Structure 1
């Protein structure tokens, strides 16, 4: 019996971290903007901001300065917390040059030139993301009934950084307020956090703020006056914690101050 020994391609530690980052943050296809830019950079040495915008328009994607800036922060790593940046290698994927052009970071570019295996894997991630993103509504930041984590909400609602660790059930910032609801609480939940939340009808959700808040609390008033203040309330829900860290997106909500108690 003859054994066939095939060489195993090697990756540097930084190359592995690049692939981990792109697999976690881009391949899920939840936002098309990063994918379009990376796809262009695989074919061209640089891409201007205008070329990127035109490419997005060709794909039917919405374009606004807040989203474009958010993508920059994701690809240069500044959006992430320090532990996450460390996990991802703390080296940008893409940089925006003084010549107003997007280019791959020199470290990543050198890996692509020197390691064909790394380039193949990088290309495969971006191509896979291009197919997956077709499942998402490119005209909206979030797609109805798709699943998102708290970190996804920070990223896709264009927050400056990942604040998911302090978001808990909800947080108002940058004229947005993502609200996360676990419909069934497990038996070990303390009474102080066992909020009463349920659908009164398909259109009406009974929802509770954090404990020890009143109708006069600033954060409560902000939510009750969300429509007047131009704040978008986004509702995410899952059946229970056993489903993991992602919630189904149910769309924008409007408060009913008359029913608040």
Structure 2
């Protein structure tokens, strides 16, 4: 029975690119997302290359995730990899003026959704043993604060610490865990964050040569195909055009 890769948030961006990259390599796929039409279209496209099971499910819905995982067909039961990609950032307003509903959504998706998928699939990954792996999509925002990152950055700091702690609990199982932390990437992620403002999206990436979803997919593929005795604990990557420069200084009191 072929090994299976489970990808959350596969209807756009990194998740979609990962599905395409692993399908090219012949991995069986379980792809999840909330947008049924997009998910089905992707599944139909990739089914010419490999076995694909689309699951229309919201990672924030614990009961729905439990039912989806419990109902996995035997064909997709041998799980070798999990890519916890589903996540989002909403808004860039400073904390005093942000929308509290946005904070709830980011916590529910980036933290609780990742917790649900991980916990529900751990037994299958452990059953696979050596060579199995989890890649959690973190962010440089989990390390490097910037204005408007408040809760988003905090959720990605959770992803980092959860990944490190999870490794301790999985010692002896052969299951690897990686926190992948991209910097500036051009994808639908940013359009969602900017509430669909295309002009702002375009200005953000103009001339910057940002990382592309295909770059992240290639990186994830490399991580999950390392020799079974190697664990990539965390990996931070940025485009060459981006750095950490720019500490804020208030000079109004001088």
**TM-score under structure 2 normalisation?**
0.30
Max Rg structure: 1
